[in-house]
């Protein structure tokens, strides 16, 4: 089973490494997320060098789509989708990972 790294665990790890107040770390991370969301809402491309890029792509609407849960035919309006593209450094960092079980 895949292990999840939660925001709380990230905050705790940063706290242990830097000794900074947990509440301050939580505020900074929440503010970072808000800035990313605000940028996407304004249709901006958010580039975090060495990590990746967030952007919005517009998906076309369709008259006949299926609800995967019920199988019902539904129409889907044109809508935005958040996209993340990993940067070169991140891609290179994870390149040799072949099995998540190796990390346990």
Residue-range definition of the domain harbouring residue 83 = 45-99
Residue 11 CB coordination number (10 Å): 19
Domain harbouring 51, CATH code:
4.10.520.10
1 pLDDT above the threshold of 90 = no
Q: What digits encode the pLDDT tens for the residues 32-58? A: 999 999 999 999 999 999 999 999 999
Q: Within this chain, do residues 69 and 80 fall inside the same structural domain, yes or no?
A: yes
Q: Within this chain, do residues 40 and 51 fall inside the same structural domain, yes or no?
A: no
- Average per-residue pLDDT in the chain? 91
Cα 85 from Cα 43, distance rounded (Å): 16
Average pLDDT over residues 55-65: 91
Confidence (pLDDT) at 42: 96
Q: Within this chain, do residues 53 and 27 fall inside the same structural domain, yes or no?
A: no
Q: Classify residue 22: in a domain, yes or no.
A: yes
Look at the chain and count its residues.
104
Q: Within this chain, do residues 40 and 57 fall inside the same structural domain, yes or no?
A: no
Q: Within this chain, do residues 23 and 49 fall inside the same structural domain, yes or no?
A: no
Q: Classify residue 58: in a domain, yes or no.
A: yes
At residue 103 the predicted structure's pLDDT band, cuts being 50, 70 and 90, is: low
Question: What total number of domains does the chain contain?
Answer: 2
102 pLDDT above the threshold of 70 = no
Q: Classify residue 104: in a domain, yes or no.
A: no
Give the relative orientation of helices 22-41 and 7-18 as an angle to the nearest 10 degrees.
Answer: 130
**pTM of the predicted structure, to 2 decimals:** 0.77
């Amino acid at each position: 089973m895949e292990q999840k790294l939660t925001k709380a665990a990230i905050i705790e790890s940063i706290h242990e490494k830097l000794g900074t107040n947990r509440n301050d770390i939580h505020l900074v991370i929440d503010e970072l997320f808000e800035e990313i969301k605000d940028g996407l809402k304004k249709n901006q491309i958010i580039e975090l060098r060495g990590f990746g890029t967030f952007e919005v792509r517009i998906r076309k609407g369709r008259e006949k789509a299926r609800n995967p849960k019920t199988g019902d035919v539904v129409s889907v309006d044109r809508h935005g989708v958040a996209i993340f593209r990993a940067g070169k450094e991140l891609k290179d960092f994870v390149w040799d990972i072949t099995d998540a079980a190796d990390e346990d």
